[in-house]
Amino acid sequence: MNILMGITFTSILLPLASSLQCYQYQGVSWLPQKQNVITCEPNAAFCTSTLIKLNGTLYGEILVKGCLAGNESTCNKTTTTDKKITQIYESVQCCNTELCNSDLIPDVSSTKDHGIQCYVCNGNPASCNGDQLPTVRCTGEQTQCMEISIEGAVTGNEKTRLMLKGCGNLTSCGEFAAFSNGLQPLSYSAAMRCCKGSACNSGTFAESEPGKENGVECYSCADSEQGGCSPEHVKKMKCTGAMTQCLDIIGDTHNRIIMKGCATDSFCQRLYPDFRIPVKSSTSCCSGSLCNQVGIGTSEEAKTKN
């Protein structure tokens, strides 16, 4: 009797133990917040992200995430429905591993499927390394796999590192976008790499190196320091590596300069994933040593960096 009961309980628990977990969400399609983890029904084999877009008199987007029961015939497809006042586009993408729809957002701009799947991740380098990551199919203008390593220490505090992976069509593949405000050899850097073929973005990056002095000097300061970028606190710094441009980062009030330093061409051309400085409004770059003297009076007012 005990043996029979054990077999019965095992047969009940096995389907539950093998049930897929997915993220559930309904709301705006950009940077979805408050995604909940749900356990799917035993017959659900896929996690999904569905983007519904309205064009016409009614316009808007909504992103829905959850589980999908049944076969995959509805996956990775876009359907269009014409109404009198609007068109409704519904694009569904699927994946079949635990919580794989975390960063899965369909693109309804094009239905072309390139037959490429890329690893997708947004996290620290250790968690985004290897070949056990979830994958996403590349559609539309996304024709290659990409991976981006971002490092930041803008305020001079401990460095943070972030890895991004997915499908893309970056024109800046192979570029190195970086700047330094003098508090750290590299205040921000983004190294970008692309590859063609499925699951080719399984690698990782070594920490970025600033390189050797290149002969260019720029004025430097950071508003996080005591005194910030007031003329008496501006210093001179020697640029290194590919940072051959002088930089001003301008705040959002009265064109106030909140940082000065050295930058690469790619950073000046904004060929990098955006990063957030709370009061940042724009950047300005120039070529030639000490050319970023706007806002400090004469060059004699700047102190030489020790």
Cα distance between residue 258 and residue 252, in whole Å: 10
**Average pLDDT score, the chain:** 78
Q: Per-residue confidence at 265, pLDDT binned at 50, 70, 90?
A: very high
* Torsion angle defined by CA atoms of residues 177, 181, 187 and 193, in that order, rounded to the nearest 10 degrees: 10
Claim: this prediction has a pTM higher than 0.75: no
Tens of pLDDT along 206-249?
888 889 999 999 999 987 655 578 888 899 999 999 999 999 98
Task: Go through the domains of the chain in sequence order and give each one's CATH number.
Answer: 18-109 (2.10.60.10), 213-304 (2.10.60.10)
Strand partners, 94: 48
Tens of pLDDT along 82-107?
654 456 778 899 998 899 998 888 86
Tens of pLDDT along 188-212?
998 888 898 899 999 888 888 889 9
- Between residues 172 and 192, which one has the greater pLDDT? 192
- Please give, one letter per residue, the 3-state secondary structure of 164-195: EEEEECCCCCCCEEEEECCCCCCCEEEEEEEE
| Local structure of 10: helix, strand or coil | helix
Q: Indicate whether 177 pLDDT > 80.
A: yes
Q: What is the pLDDT of residue 247?
A: 94
Cα distance between residue 66 and residue 39, in whole Å: 10
173 and 192 Cβ atoms separated by less than 8 Å: yes
Side by side, which strands form the sheet with 36-39? 36-39, 21-27, 60-69, 44-56, 86-95, 77-82
Q: Indicate whether 110 pLDDT > 60.
A: no
